Chains A and B, each alone.
Chain A
Amino acid sequence: MISSAVDPVQLEEVRKRVFLALFIALAVALHAVEYLLPSPLPWFRFGLANILTLTALFLYGVRAAWVVTLCRILIGSLLLGTLFSPAFLLSMSGGILATLLMTSSFRFFRPRIGPVGVSVLGALGHASGQLLIAWLLIVRHPSIWLMLPFFLLFSLISGIINGLAADMLLEFLLKHPAFSRLKNSCRFSVENNDTGSL
């Protein structure tokens, strides 16, 4: 698995790029499937793509998380035909606020906070960001804030679910040799239950 003929630092860089590309592709796929699912409440989405943002954040750091989120929103909107539409603005504003909250909570609280905590903050930020832009640009009447509690409740639940899924994904990925170098630098608590990859 580890090639001895290649500079390990370079190898790690390339690996990171490849995996980020995979994460983005998965995130776009999840985003698209969610968008296409019929639902009586059209604006309430689970945001499953955030699972990949969280994974990128915990594995590769703040910048990687931003890359995954922004690319996911742009490519996803392009694919779904909503690029630059009002729905895109809502998605963008929610995504930016969510990622801001996630990356800052990650940076400041890192050893103590885990994927679930970061995810919940991200989900709540997403909902608030969307309502904020909807209020400023579309509805323009304070009555829209009456929907805030329902959105927040839904975000809380989906945030917890996404966080748990991301945690499980991280745990699963970190067991693979491709991520062995990251074990010590990324996670909030590392259970070294396998003997190593080399």
Chain B
Amino acid sequence: MALGATLKRLTRFDRYLVLSLALLVSASFLLLWGRQSGSRIVVDADNRTVFTAPLDDARHFEIEGPLGTTRMEIADGAVRVLSSPCPQKICIGLGDARRAGDLLACVPNRIVVRIEGEKEGEAYDLLSR
């Protein structure tokens, strides 16, 4: 009943404000739609790029971080984390990354994997440091 009174007290300005902001937020979701499919992954350990690979070929690889080894695989045009020494395993829970701009990260182990699209061309197909 206090809630009912409160809702009645909402001014017109408030209602319009919330409505227009809700529209804005929904519109921002459209930005997520038009993204091209990825072609390459770039792996950064500790903010330094240590590994890139194309998304087409299936492969397993491991990246070393301060906590240990994070194992990842590329399969079916997507990259995912298989195992990681972090406590919460959020990186594994993030699932697949396949479109340009998608991001996977294991923050405790300081590893970030991003997908780059067609346009950002590079001279080499695979880079390992």
Contacts and interface: CB of A to CB of B under 8 A. Distances in A.
A168 B14 CA distance: 15
A152 B22 CA distance: 9
Contact of B9 (A120, A143, A167): A167
A113 interface: yes
Interface string A87-115: 00000000000000000000001001110
B10 A114 contact: yes
A148 B32 CA distance: 10
A18 interface: no
Contact of A188 (B11, B17, B93, B114): B11
Contact of A168 (B3, B18, B47, B90): B3
Contacts of B31: 149
Contacts of A79: none
B25 interface: yes
A188 B18 CA distance: 17
A140 interface: yes
Interface residue range, chain A: 20 to 34
Contact of B112 (A120, A139, A152, A153): A139
B2 interface: yes
Given A120-B18, A148-B28, A113 B11 contact: yes
B126 interface: no
Contacts of A143: 101-103, 114
A153 B17 CA distance: 15
B13 A117 contact: yes
Interface string B3-28: 10111011111100110011011001
Contact of B5 (A140, A149, A153, A171): A171
A121 B24 CA distance: 12
A124 B25 CA distance: 10
A120 B5 contact: no
A94 B36 CA distance: 31
What 9 pairs across the A-B complex have the smallest Cβ distances? A112-B13, A117-B14, A149-B28, A143-B103, A152-B25, A149-B29, A117-B17, A167-B6, A143-B101
Interface of B: 2-3, 5-7, 9-14, 17-18, 21-22, 24-25, 28-29, 31-32, 47, 88, 90, 93, 101-103, 105, 112, 114
28 contacts: A42-B90, A112-B11, A113-B14, A114-B10, A116-B14, A117-B11, A117-B18, A120-B18, A121-B17, A139-B103, A143-B114, A144-B103, A146-B103, A148-B28, A149-B31, A149-B32, A153-B29, A156-B18, A156-B21, A156-B25, A160-B18, A164-B6, A164-B7, A167-B9, A168-B2, A168-B3, A171-B6, A171-B9
